[in-house]
Structure 1
Amino acid sequence: MRLYERSSCLLQPPDYSLMNDSTDAQDVSQARVWLWAARPKTLGAAVAPVLVGTGMALEAGAWHLLSALLALAGAVLIQVGVNYHNDYADYVQGADTQERVGPLRVTQAGLVAPQTMRRATILVFGLAVMAGLYLIARGGWPILAVGVASIGAAIWYTAGRYSLAALGLADVFVFVFFGPVAVGGTYYVQALSLPTEVLLAGGGPGLLSIGILLVNNVRDVAEDRRAGKRTLVVRFGRRFGVAAYGACLVGALLLAGLLAAGLFGTTPHPWAALPLGLLPLAIGPIRRLSETTDPEKLNPLLGATGRILVLWALLFAVGWNL
């Protein structure tokens, strides 16, 4: 599931315009290449739901350190595996070309051979399975089902003609797996129970993760259309993508307020409304996506939306415990 890429200058890969026929892949350290391929800034989407689930488990008196750490490790490894597979599959299927306007893809740039990237994907998913063995033993078949489904959805995202991206179903799966499933799974492996309010809270990270995906899809709409990717933005147009992005950001903030007030029949947690304070941070990205048509100028919105996601998770988790 392609989410957002790097915005930090310390991790920024070379610009495509600087990569010409005289550029030797050996001039770039392999460690840095694999770091670029892992897309460090995407990891916030994996960490955020773990923060929310752990924060809610802590408030319930069910915090379990080892389970929380392994849930975090598994989530991060699955996200890295998603990124590696996306890097490989988009190149093989022709979605990543020299006309790409987004941040660097190492397979397309010739820095990693396709088969090497494929083997790395398998290795990382294997490590995620190893991290999850204890969680499966603790939580039973529901955790096994979640793990298998998560890895399966990651592979299906760009797996050929009937992939999630090609069918325009990626947004739904991003919401489910980066939202209620991730938050609920994190809570469950610690508390061994699953209150409805936990799944509802998962809607916040889920909506913001869709927002990150929408930035990518608005930026890449022309490229996706040529590659046959029937994203929702390709199907319904740029204006739809912008409106959906705004709805996801504002909706996530409002959801925190509703949960804080106990309007879903749950116990009120007034301080859990802290994410509402992020509204000023959300206005700028919504306006920029609406007004900017140059795809390259939309890249900073990926990091901006990712920061809102992590801040939402931190503020909600802290507020739920106050």
Structure 2
Amino acid sequence: MQSPLPKHQPTPSLKYNRSWRVWWNLTRPHTLTAAFVPVSIGTALAFRETAVHLTLFLAMLIASLLIQAATNMFNEYYDYKRGLDSSESVGIGGAIVREGIAPKTVLLLAFSFIAISILIGVYICMNSSWWIAVVGTICVAAGYFYTGGPIPIAYTPFGELAAGFFMGLIIILISFFIQTGTITFVPIVVSIPIAILVGAILLANNIRDLDGDQQHGRKTLAILIGRTNAIRLLGGMFIVSFAWMIGLIALHVVSPWTLLVFLSVPKAVAATKGFIGKTKPIEMMPAMKATAQANTQFGFLLAIGLLIGHWL
């Protein structure tokens, strides 16, 4: 349902609201764990190989969080410019359409976050390798073109794949590399379930927004395969992630302590079931949040399992 206000006009009654919650919500905090978790896992894997440099870990963590937040702001800006968001849209920061923040301010803030992450990246490169600058630039570009540019990745069936690849696989490998100076087989295979679960967050988002996205000409994976199949795929992604961990343990790639990830199964089940029979975006918000929480719990438990396995 569209807002009764004219298209692209902020809500007048909230125009001058500038509380800190407006800016905090603009970062879409429930998605930030998609940056925190891979950095933690990559560093935990590195801890098995060498002494971890805390400053490099913190630098990588802050840079990743800034890039993720900037990506969310680009999303907010470009969805607004394309007329996808209204004051009644769910799952958005709402800084522009509900709080009256100037669109250019949101865009400027996003680029400011990117600039800070680049400065941090220089520090990381000085203490590891300048090849990180090349990979980091590609990651930043992917964050921008996710919703920016003439053909945004988010408007295609490849959004989940791109998010999983960059925020799962690549971030874990960078976090591992800056500590160890190398890439090995273990961080690659351990990153797979995390990449899948990061992709699951995007799939859940697209299931929730399916009707609205379809009306605006998007061609997301959820639209192409239909709501029912998309929910089945979401459940399958959870199953594959847990099964993958069993396989890694069976092959002695990781410690049996990583079975701790199975404590996140209830949240994964709740996320999948929460979409069944729902058609309105507001009804699917709990399932969307549960999907992000499943990723968070799985990732933290995996990092803890890796550390315990190393110490014992």
Deviation for aligned residue 1:178: 1.3
Q: What do the CA deviations read for 1:254-309 (whole angstroms, capped 9, x no partner)?
A: 222222222xxx64411122212322332122112123223211111222122221
CA distance in 2, matches of 1:22, 1:182: 41
Q: What do the CA deviations read for 1:179-230 (whole angstroms, capped 9, x no partner)?
A: 1101111011111111111011111221111111111101111111122211
Higher relative contact order (CA 8 A, sep 6+): 1
Note the 1:18-57 alignment, pairs <5 A: 23-26=13-16, 28-57=17-46
Change (3 A) 1:21 1:56: closer
Calculate the aligned-residue CA RMSD, in Å.
2.1
- 3-state SS of the aligned residue for 2:265? helix
Counterpart for residue 301 of structure 1: 287
Change (3 A) 1:293 1:218: same
Change (3 A) 1:213 1:133: same
**Among 241, 248, 268, which residue is 2:230 paired with?**
241
**Among 212, 215, 230, which residue is 1:226 paired with?**
215
Counterpart for residue 13 of structure 1: none
| One-letter code aligned to 1:280 | P
The percentage of aligned residue pairs carrying the same residue is 26
Deviation for aligned residue 1:121: 1.0
Aligned residues: 302
Deviation for aligned residue 1:98: 4.4
Q: What do the CA deviations read for 1:61-101 (whole angstroms, capped 9, x no partner)?
A: 34121111111011100011011111101000112134524
| One-letter code aligned to 2:75 | N
Runs of at least 4 residues of structure 1 off by over 6 A? none
Q: Contact between 2:44 and 2:303, CA under 8 Å: does it hold in 1?
A: yes
Q: Contact between 2:96 and 2:103, CA under 8 Å: does it hold in 1?
A: yes
- The more displaced of 59-68 and 85-94 is 59-68
Counterpart for residue 73 of structure 2: 84
CA distance in 1, matches of 2:214, 2:232: 20
**Among 299, 306, 310, which residue is 1:320 paired with?**
306
TM-score, structure 2 as length reference:
0.90
- 3-state SS of the aligned residue for 2:100? coil
Counterpart for residue 261 of structure 1: 250
CA distance in 1, matches of 2:253, 2:88: 52
2:156 pairs with 1:170: no
CA distance in 2, matches of 1:260, 1:160: 42
Consecutive unaligned residues of structure 2, counting only runs of 5 or more, are 5-9
Counterpart for residue 120 of structure 1: 109
| One-letter code aligned to 1:299 | M
2:280 pairs with 1:288: no
- The more displaced of 29-38 and 180-189 is 29-38
Consecutive unaligned residues of structure 1, counting only runs of 5 or more, are 1-15
**Among 123, 126, 131, which residue is 1:137 paired with?**
126
CA distance in 1, matches of 2:70, 2:294: 23
Q: Contact between 2:36 and 2:64, CA under 8 Å: does it hold in 1?
A: yes
2:142 pairs with 1:156: no
Note the 1:190-209 alignment, pairs <5 A: 190-209=179-198
Q: Contact between 2:208 and 2:288, CA under 8 Å: does it hold in 1?
A: no
Q: Contact between 2:274 and 2:286, CA under 8 Å: does it hold in 1?
A: no
2:243 pairs with 1:274: no
CA distance in 1, matches of 2:174, 2:232: 30
Q: Contact between 1:33 and 1:111, CA under 8 Å: does it hold in 2?
A: no
| One-letter code aligned to 2:121 | G
Deviation for aligned residue 1:32: 2.1
CA distance in 2, matches of 1:108, 1:29: 13
